[in-house]
Amino acid sequence: MNREAVEVPGWLNVSRETLAQLFDFCDLVEKWNPVINLVSRAGIADLWQRHVIDSAQLFFKSPEGGAAWCDLGSGGGFPGIVLAILAKELRPDVTFTLVESDSRKAVFLAESARVLSLPVVVLSHRIENLAPQNADVLTARALAPLSLLCGFAHRHLKPSGIAIFPKGAAATHEIDDARKTWSFKCESSQSRTDADAAVLTIRDIHRA
């Protein structure tokens, strides 16, 4: 990735050191991708905007004070590693647990955390077999329908916790479908990277 050519949005107000870490992470993804297939070919071609910036926006939806963050289905580190890089500067009290059942991707996540000196624990488990994480904030990107994500959030969030889920054009349909099984408060805001997408912040999750 040509670091000089990337566009940094004004809302991503971070230090040069943090930007450098984001770029370094992109380099790691590009290095490992031919072996593990972390993102698609199209994703590699637009890695910065499509994955890094799209992931970074979730950080600014999180509440102040939550110290335990859990990212489910972390895959190639989007959003988990990106969020941990931002937190290192902006909220250094936050620690991250990244959950990824694919052992090869879990190795990549652990190596990225080591190279970038991030406060990250990687768990290579299936989500449904994972012990409750008692997280303040929970994220998942391109993992599952909202109805299933609400079940994960109900299990792994503190009662006062918040879930942050980016969703595509079908977000409204997913909300309606999830409400058949779950009761929750939901705020929807337009994605900063896709006019047809939304970021859902969800709390107070209970079975309907």
Residue 118 within any structural domain of the chain: yes
Please tell me whether 141 is known to bind a ligand.
yes
Could you report the per-residue pLDDT of 82-95, keeping only the tens digit for each? 999 999 999 999 99
Higher-confidence position of 141 and 6: 141
Angle at the Cα of 111 from the Cα atoms of 106 and 113, rounded to 5 degrees: 95
Distance (Å, rounded) from C-alpha 66 to C-alpha 167?
Answer: 23
Residue 8 within any structural domain of the chain: no
Please tell me whether 128 is known to bind a ligand.
yes
Residue 9 within any structural domain of the chain: no
Residue 44 within any structural domain of the chain: yes
- For the whole model, what pTM was predicted? 0.96
Residue 48 within any structural domain of the chain: yes
Distance (Å, rounded) from C-alpha 130 to C-alpha 149?
Answer: 14
Q: What is residue 45's predicted lDDT score, i.e. its pLDDT?
A: 84
Distance (Å, rounded) from C-alpha 141 to C-alpha 167?
Answer: 8
Residue 171 has pLDDT above 90, yes or no: yes
Bridge-based pairing of strands 198-207 and 157-167 is antiparallel
State the total domains in the chain: 1
Residue 38 within any structural domain of the chain: yes
Tell me the CA distances in angstroms from 84 to 116, 171, 198, one per residue in order.
Answer: 10, 26, 22
- pLDDT tier at 3 (50, 70, 90 boundaries)? confident
Residue 2 has pLDDT above 90, yes or no: no
Could you report the per-residue pLDDT of 69-124, keeping only the tens digit for each? 999 999 999 999 999 999 999 999 999 999 999 999 999 999 999 999 999 999 99
Distance (Å, rounded) from C-alpha 22 to C-alpha 184?
Answer: 34
Q: Give the range of the structural domain holding residue 93, as residue numbers without chain letter.
A: 16-207
Q: What's the CATH number where 189 sits?
A: 3.40.50.150
Q: What is residue 64's predicted lDDT score, i.e. its pLDDT?
A: 82
